[in-house]
Amino acid sequence: MAEERRRSEERRLPELPGASAGAVVLRLPPEPSGYMHLGHAFHGLINYLYREKYGGFLWLRFEDTNPRKVRAEYYDSYREGFRWCGVKWDAEKNNSDDMDLYYSYAEMLLELGGLYVCSCSQEEMAKQRAEGAECSHRSMDASWHMEKWDRMLSGAMREGEAVVRFKGDLQSQNTALRDPVLFRVVEHPHPLKGDRYTVWPTYDFAVAIQDAVCGVTHVLRTSEFMFRDELQDQIRQRLGLRNPVYVEYSRFEFEGTPLSRRRIRELIEQGIVRGWDDPRLGTVAAARRRGFTPEALREFVKSYVALTPSRKLYSWDLLYAINRRVIDPKTPRLFFVPDPRRVVLKNPMAVKVSVPLHPSADMGSRALEVGDTVFIPGRDADLLKPGDRVRLKYLTNIRILDRVEGGIVAEAEGGGPEPGLQVIQWVPEKSHRLEVIVPGMLFRGEVPDPQSLSTVSGLVEAYEASVPVGSAVQFERFGYCVKDAAGVYIFTHP
RNA sequence: GCUCCGGUAGUAUAGUCCGGUCAAGUAUGCGGGCCUCUCGAGCCCGAGACCCGGGUUCAAAUCCCGGCCGGAGCACCA
């Protein structure tokens, strides 16, 4: 009985601490500065799944307060990526929309002595922070800081000349609290705001304010931000703003597949991969192109992703299995013959067989017209000796008579499937060439594997021409593939 | 180096907060079988784990201490 219950138990998301239905506000904070990868997709799905679970509210909020990193095209690529994943958000904003708000909060804190303007060099500051030492600017009075702040805003201070710092605890074990920089001058146009602002908040300030003004109740993020919690909380505390609950978990890693945007960018720049949607990559564009479905991603997150701080290194097999379950019932079967060998039939058939597009689902059929020649995979042909028998699926059993240059001579015996008789796929003479790009594991250890992308070429039955680009098929005894372009498929998984 | 956080089968997870129902559940992968006109799907069976050492307790995967191993952070990036 207990056994029974355990088996049928469905996987669910764990409760969020302190969450109640209808009162959960979450946020999805991408920085529009690079390619969206599966990690972003998972974060999106996690937030969205919780939004659904509690009937809460989800913000899509672009963390775009570093004009030098942000690029306009990425805003939309994230929107598109999340949309494709099935993530729906209730409202959207950019951190860069609220510059005046940051300024007014900064002024409040400057008056209260919670912030100070500092013109130490970066090197000096690093040294002081490491030693826990205070600089001369820290103890100046509020009016001095206000004046400098006004000069910063007016553009009189150039980049690097002055920053605004948090008056924290220079001795703190948590170095994030040792008077971090909260505003700096950036003389670089912003893709959305142009030259309107040169004084930009850093991550900690912008996030602290935004999470409060968005009414965020739960911050779900990766644990590398762990050390910022206290800082962000203190910033809000000084402003009388409410703090959220943090749920922090380790980042997601996939075997042999780097997810860091920096590393992906390097691979592209070095020409190791063919672009940001190279099927070996862990980008959302690659996953999509390769034939992974949003349903599978969602199921994966729901059932196999834990919000825990322990290291996770997922193997692709799990995603394959889930994706297979999603696509199998709706994916048509076709015959593709890699590395084809000619089989000449001593007794020509001259038949047209109609074969089903799917073994169980009602998807209709396709026709194959056979004369005296068929092609079978080299892998199978190489094992056949005169006298051997094999079944050409849906067509006939054949007996090998002879091996000749470039193929096999066989005799069609007719008949049906027999127990123990191997069934193989084949294509008729009237078939066309096809290439399948097979992505492998990009990394073996530390170095990229140059052999990780291979191409299998072969013959496919004529019906293939009618498959639309972007849709999936299963090439029997080969695997699931997606049509990438005319004559080119990408191997999804077995 | 300093600080913080982790450690359940090959992998991902459930269980850990509130010790007994855990001789540890699930999925995937692996081995075997059945079924099937695919090496796919489905069904059945099997092997496989509480990092190590102490302690507390009638009882420890669960609590405490130490060790080992792993990860993260130490930016005018986010």
Averaged over successive runs of 10 residues, the pLDDT of chain A (494 residues) comes to 36 85 96 95 97 96 98 97 98 98 98 96 95 95 97 96 97 96 98 98 98 98 96 98 96 94 92 95 97 96 94 96 96 97 95 96 95 96 95 97 94 94 96 97 87 96 97 98 98 97
CA of A249 to C1' of B48 (A): 28
Q: Which nucleotide is nearest to A253 (CA to C1')?
A: B12
Is A306's CB less than 7 Å from nucleic acid strand B? yes
Is A98's CB less than 7 Å from nucleic acid strand B? no
Q: Is there a domain that residue A118 lies in?
A: yes
Q: Is there a domain that residue A260 lies in?
A: no
Looking up residue A192, the CATH number of its domain turns out to be 3.90.800.10
What per-residue confidence (pLDDT) applies to A444?
83
Is A270's CB less than 7 Å from nucleic acid strand B? no
Q: Is there a domain that residue A88 lies in?
A: no
Q: What is the pLDDT of residues A356-402, one digit of tens each?
A: 999 999 999 999 999 999 999 999 999 999 999 999 999 999 999 99
- Token code pair at residue A185: 């001058």
Domain end: A200, A224, A255, which one?
A: A200
Domain end: A200, A234, A263, which one?
A: A200
Q: Is there a domain that residue A114 lies in?
A: yes
Q: Is there a domain that residue A453 lies in?
A: yes
Q: Is there a domain that residue A384 lies in?
A: yes
Q: Which nucleotide is nearest to A175 (CA to C1')?
A: B74
Q: Is there a domain that residue A30 lies in?
A: no
Beta strands in A149-244 (DSSP E): 163-166, 181-185, 199-201, 218-222
- Do A196 and A337 sit in the same domain of this protein? no
- Strands A340-345, A57-62: parallel, antiparallel or unpaired by DSSP? unpaired
CA of A309 to C1' of B5 (A): 7
Q: If we measure between CA atoms, which residue out of A83, A26, A91 comes closest to residue A53?
A: A26
Is A171's CB less than 7 Å from nucleic acid strand B? no
What per-residue confidence (pLDDT) applies to A1?
29
- Token code pair at residue A142: 């509020």
Looking up residue A367, the CATH number of its domain turns out to be 2.40.240.10
What per-residue confidence (pLDDT) applies to A10?
52
Q: What is the largest CA-CA distance in chain A?
A: 102
Alpha-carbon distances, residue A403 vs A185, A266, A450 (angstroms): 77, 50, 36
Residue found by looking up tokens 């056979």 in the block: A370
Is A228's CB less than 7 Å from nucleic acid strand B? yes
What per-residue confidence (pLDDT) applies to A4?
35
**A80: CB partners within 8 A, 6+ apart:** none
Q: Mark the nucleotides of strand B covered by protein, meaning any atom under 7 Å from a CB.
A: 2-8, 10-15, 21-22, 25-29, 36-42, 70-78
**A456: CB partners within 8 A, 6+ apart:** A338, A339, A435, A436, A438, A491
**A424: CB partners within 8 A, 6+ apart:** A376, A377, A380, A390, A391, A392, A393, A477
Alpha-carbon distances, residue A358 vs A326, A332, A473, A488 (angstroms): 15, 5, 10, 22
Q: Which nucleotide is nearest to A30 (CA to C1')?
A: B78
Domain end: A167, A200, A233, which one?
A: A200
ipTM value, please give it.
Answer: 0.93
Question: Total structural domains in chain A?
Answer: 2
Q: Which residue is nearest to nucleotide B5 (CA to C1')?
A: A309
How would DSSP label each residue in A255-321? TTB---HHHHHHHHHTTSSSSTT-TTS-BHHHHHHHT--HHHHHHHHHHH----SS-EEE-HHHHHH
Q: Which residue is nearest to nucleotide B2 (CA to C1')?
A: A173
Q: Which nucleotide is nearest to A311 (CA to C1')?
A: B71
Q: Is there a domain that residue A103 lies in?
A: yes
What per-residue confidence (pLDDT) applies to A11?
61
- Token code pair at residue A237: 């505390």
Q: How many CA atoms, within 13 angstroms, populate the side-chain half-sphere of residue A216?
A: 29
Which of chain A's residues 380-439 bind strand B, using a 7 Å CB cutoff? Answer: 380, 391, 393-394, 416-417, 423-425
**Residues A331 and A489: beta-carbon distance below 8 Å:** no
CA of A381 to C1' of B63 (A): 65
What per-residue confidence (pLDDT) applies to A8?
34
Is A321's CB less than 7 Å from nucleic acid strand B? yes
**A399: CB partners within 8 A, 6+ apart:** A387, A388, A389, A410, A411, A413
Domain span at A454: 333-493
**A222: CB partners within 8 A, 6+ apart:** A39, A43, A248, A249, A250, A251
Q: Which nucleotide is nearest to A392 (CA to C1')?
A: B37
